[in-house]
């Protein structure tokens, strides 16, 4: 299958998934036992106000017309208004989404930087002390509840040691004396670009604990995946040939074997990245991080249906994009995938 045909096929499948999500969310919004107009104006609104809001929101129009309008609005990035804040949802997402993406990105960087080399070294020391320790720690990291780890780290590093802040994205003092000029929405990046070193240091201290908590599961998963993949690759005959040829163990592990062993891990990382965006609800709540997860929790507690559907659609699009990029990266790293696709065609 040629690169262009494969790209078009993936794009078509992505569009179908997005349309399916739009259809499901629209149907659910019409099935749930609540009146959107009543939720929007409040429980004490008069019947006249309810009629005006229904006309304003187009709730009296035929369902096919409402669905077309819903799809068109979503395609333009117009997700309507929040029932709770009465603000355009897109305005809230402009602030909330970068905060979550920054937290998830830092967590994934930690997962890659720690998980991949640790998994490689554990496989190299198969059956040894280091391998056994890493296996125990990775099992513990996968099974450990995020909320419990978050509370434990707050207890140790905030209450006992006083090294790190309890929560938030930035100290209130820094917000007033050295506010960050928003460029990308990523506090760390924006403070670096503008040379705001005071805010940069404060942002680093605030992101450490939530990023570590959010990265614990991905790190443990990457370690286990890399270890299993490396063990399989290291048993291949070309590895034995490389050792016989006199290549050093470092060259064999990190230049020869890693390239083939990392492909399955990339797929998992793509899934975990997208999952972490919504999986950050507890982490953001405990650390008072003003991201999409916290925004989603507030929407659930207040029955703010438009916000829930908007976040669902955004996460779906991010999930599709990340998996598309991972698939392209897999194709670039492993020629066998390209060959397999040509044979299927």
16-61 pLDDT, tens digit per residue, is 888 888 888 778 766 665 666 666 666 666 767 777 777 776 666 7
268 to each of 112, 138, 250, how far by Cα in Å?
12, 15, 25
Reported residue count of the chain is 345
Distance CA 20, CA 42 (A): 31
Give the domain CATH number at 140.
Answer: 1.10.3720.10
Residue 264: inside a domain: yes
| Residue 6 half-sphere exposure toward CB, CA atoms < 13 A | 17
Structure tokens at 324: 């598309």
What is the domain range of residue 156?
A: 96-167+211-344
Give the residue-averaged pLDDT of 62-73: 79
pTM above 0.85, yes or no: no
SS3 344: helix
Residue 279: inside a domain: yes
| Residue 332 half-sphere exposure toward CB, CA atoms < 13 A | 7
Give the residue-averaged pLDDT of 326-335: 67
Residue 260: inside a domain: yes
| Residue 60 half-sphere exposure toward CB, CA atoms < 13 A | 7
pLDDT at 193 (0 to 100) = 92
Highest-confidence range of 220-224, 246-250, 334-338, by mean pLDDT?
Answer: 220-224
pLDDT of 340 over the 50 cut: no
Per-residue buried b or exposed e for 36-54, using 16+ beta carbons within 10 Å of the residue's own CB: bbbbbbeeeeeeeebeebb
Q: Which residue has the higher pLDDT, 213 or 278?
A: 213
Residue 156 per-residue DSSP state:
I
Residue 299: inside a domain: yes
How many domains would you assign to the chain? 1
pLDDT at 45 (0 to 100) = 65
Residue 196: inside a domain: no
CA dihedral 38, 42, 45, 51 (to 10 degrees): -30
Residue 5: inside a domain: no
Residue 303: inside a domain: yes
Calculate what percentage of the chain has a pLDDT beyond 70: 86
Closest alpha carbon to 40 in 24, 51, 25: 51
Per-residue buried b or exposed e for 235-270, using 16+ beta carbons within 10 Å of the residue's own CB: eeeebeebeeeeeeeeebbbebbbebbbbbbbebbb
Q: Which residue has the higher pLDDT, 109 or 316?
A: 109
Residue 18: inside a domain: no
């Amino acid at each position: 299958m040629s690169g262009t045909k494969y790209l078009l096929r993936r794009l078509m499948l992505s569009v179908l998934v997005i349309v399916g999500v739009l259809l499901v969310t629209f149907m659910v919004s019409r099935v749930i036992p609540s009146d959107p107009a009543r939720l929007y104006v409040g429980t004490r609104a008069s019947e006249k106000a309810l009629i005006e809001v229904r006309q304003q929101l187009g709730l009296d129009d035929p369902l096919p017309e409402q669905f077309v309008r819903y799809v068109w609005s979503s395609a333009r990035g117009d997700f309507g208004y929040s029932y709770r804040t009465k603000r355009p949802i897109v305005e809230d997402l402009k602030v909330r989404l970068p905060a979550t993406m920054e937290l998830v990105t830092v967590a994934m960087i930690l997962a890659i930087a720690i998980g991949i080399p640790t998994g490689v070294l554990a496989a190299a020391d198969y059956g040894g002390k280091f391998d056994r320790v890493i296996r125990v720690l990775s099992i513990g990291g996968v099974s450990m509840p995020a909320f419990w780890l978050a509370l434990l780290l707050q207890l140790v590093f905030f209450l006992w040691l006083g090294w790190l802040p309890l929560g938030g994205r930035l100290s209130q003092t820094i917000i007033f004396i050295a506010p960050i000029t928003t460029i990308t929405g990523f506090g760390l990046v924006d403070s670096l670009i503008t040379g705001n070193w005071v805010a940069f240091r404060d942002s680093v201290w605030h992101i450490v604990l939530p990023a570590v908590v959010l990265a614990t599961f991905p790190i443990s998963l990457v370690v286990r995946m890399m270890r299993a993949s490396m063990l399989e690759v290291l048993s291949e005959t070309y590895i034995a040939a490389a050792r016989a040829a006199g290549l050093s163990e470092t060259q064999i592990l990190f230049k020869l074997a890693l390239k083939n062993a990392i492909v399955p891990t990339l797929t998992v990382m793509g899934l975990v990245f997208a999952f972490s965006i919504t999986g950050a609800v507890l982490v953001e709540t405990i650390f008072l991080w003003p991201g999409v997860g916290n925004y989603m929790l507030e929407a659930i507690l207040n029955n703010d249906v438009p916000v829930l559907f908007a976040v669902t659609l955004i996460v779906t699009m991010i999930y599709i994009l990340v998996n598309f990029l991972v698939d392209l990266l897999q194709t670039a790293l492993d020629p066998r995938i390209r060959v397999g696709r040509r044979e299927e065609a």
